[in-house]
Structure 1
Amino acid sequence: MGRAAAVGLTRERVVDAAIALIDEEGLPGFSVRALARRLNVFPAALYWHAGGRKTDLFAEISGALIAGLMAHDDRAGDWRDTIRTLFKRFRSRIHQHPNAAPLLGPSIRSNGAPNAPWVEIVLAALVQAGFKEEGLIDAFNAVVGALEGFVTIELAADEASEDSEWVKTFDADLEALDADVFPLTKQYLPRMYNQSFVMRWKSGNSAPLDKGYDFLIETLISGLEMQAQRSSRP
């Protein structure tokens, strides 16, 4: 094991192996040493291909997860359908690698050129919607924020055992809420339980929030339509 074994090692191979390791062991079980053992190289060889720090490697992983989401031919005639396709593909991709979802939050950073194809498609869709100049950038940030934010939170919950003390305490605390102080929470809790953010202990991997995600997409599109109309007024 060593530099000789690193012949043929590429950034893509390092990132693919890292994603596979995270899929199997989760982020708590991931380490650069474990990845190096999997690839039969020294850890330094990994940094040569994926930056000099663990955070650089995480950035490469997060970038790889969302690169290539859409190609030019995937653009729809209606910008709304383009946005819908992007959102559905993104969520489907991340649900294939739920253990890596937290990297799309605090560990993500600019990945530049690899993401240019879908960035270009989003910008074109927003131009078609009527955005331009600074308004275009604001709309783009709203789309990307919604895109990554929902799924990251959806898959962020640690899966707990239903008969664990943690879940029993979780349920008991909710049951003990005073209906006079929290009338709406108590009223809607049966519908919110494990089907809404905050009021859940299951991960979106086992209790996906499908309706909520569809609602987000349509709400975002409606909001973009209104903002585009406002920006076009003299």
Structure 2
Amino acid sequence: MTKSGEPLTRQRVLEAALRLLDQEGLEGFSMRKLGTLLGVEAMSLYNHVENKRAVFDGVIELLIIQAPLPLQPDATPREELWTFAHAFRDVLRAHPRVLPLVATSPLRTSASLAMLDHLLETLHQAQITGVQSIYALQCLVGFIVGHTLLVTGTQAVAGLEPGPNGPAVWQHFPAEQYPTLHTLLPVITQWTPDREFDFGLQALFQSLFEQ
């Protein structure tokens, strides 16, 4: 039983693990702390998850299934993947301290692999098949995770002090040393991470779907 009096389940363990990661990051996570959060001994957790690696795999699963592909029957593969990319990015932005885990962990749970299979099938529908479909999906996920990590910055990495984010950082360096950067300062106000994300996604999709 959890401290709320509810039965301990894999789902409750994973949801609590995600909360703990949001609070402590990877560097502060432990099975002991997870047990304390749930109000149980750490050993009780192993009735529901094999080990800490299985907990992390399950946390990634929780994030992935929050960003399902749209179910509209008339959506094109490009439209489906565009929607998924934005939905997954929104999930990741809500959990910046889990980003390093997502960036470095292969998918291993049944639910995660089901989403992977669905995404690959969507690419196959666009005639992107074989190893090319794997390359395409890796590039897509890499862009989503990488861009989100760049934008969230110090929220995702322990021990770093917050500072200027985005191109606005350029104005802190002398114009005589970096003249081209400084010619762009007047248009920095037009920059937003959302527009930058869409620009990069459009460039990637142009390569994938408009050959």
TM-score range, shorter chain: 0.7 to 0.9
Q: 1:117 to 1:176 in 2, by over 3 A?
A: closer
TM-score, normalised to structure 2's length?
0.76
Moved over 4 A (4+): 24-29, 165-168, 173-176, 189-193
Identity rate of aligned residues, in percent? 27
Instruction: Tell me, in whole angstroms, the C-alpha distance in 1 between the residues paired with 2:111 and 2:54.
Output: 15
Q: Are the counterparts in 1 of residues 70 and 84 from structure 2 also a CA contact under 8 Å?
A: no
| C-alpha distance in 1 between matches for 2:21 and 2:80 | 30
Give the letter aligned to residue 84 of structure 2.
Answer: L
2:175 to 163, 179, 185: 179
Aligned to 2:202: 218
Aligned-pair CA distance for 1:129: 1.9
Question: How far apart, in 2, do the equivalents of 1:133 and 1:149 lie?
Answer: 25
Separation (CA, whole Å) in 2 of partners of 1:101 and 1:225: 28
Does residue 78 (structure 1) correspond to residue 62 (structure 2)? The answer is no
User: Please, which runs of 5 or more residues in structure 1 have no aligned partner?
Assistant: 160-164, 196-207, 230-234
> What is the distance in 1 between the residues matched to 2:200 and 2:32?
40
Tell me what 2:184 maps to: 188
Q: Output the CA distance in 2 between the equivalents of 1:72 and 1:191.
A: 35
Deviation at 1:103, TM superposition (A): 2.2
Unmatched 5+ residue regions in structure 2?
Answer: none
SS at match of 1:41: coil
Letter in 1 for 2:98: A
Aligned amino acid, residue 225 of structure 1: F
Larger radius of gyration: 1
Deviation at 1:126, TM superposition (A): 1.4
- Structure-to-structure mapping, 1:83-162, within 5 angstroms: 83-106=81-104, 108-158=105-155
2:172 and 2:70 mapped to 1: Cα distance?
Answer: 54
In 1, the alpha carbon distance for the partners of 2:172 and 2:38 equals: 51
**CA deviation after TM superposition for structure 1 residue 89, in Å:** 1.0
Partners of 2:170 and 2:181 within 8 A in 1: no
Aligned counterpart, 1:69 = 67
Deviation per CA, 1:78-116, whole angstroms, max 9, x where unpaired?
A: 11101111011112222333332332123x222242123
Q: Residue 39 of structure 1 aligns with which residue?
A: 38
Deviations 1:188-210 (A, max 9, x none): 356559x6xxxxxxxxxxxx721
Inter-partner Cα distance in structure 1 for 2:186 and 2:55: 41
Counterparts in 2 of 1:186 and 1:56: CA distance versus 1, 3 Å: farther
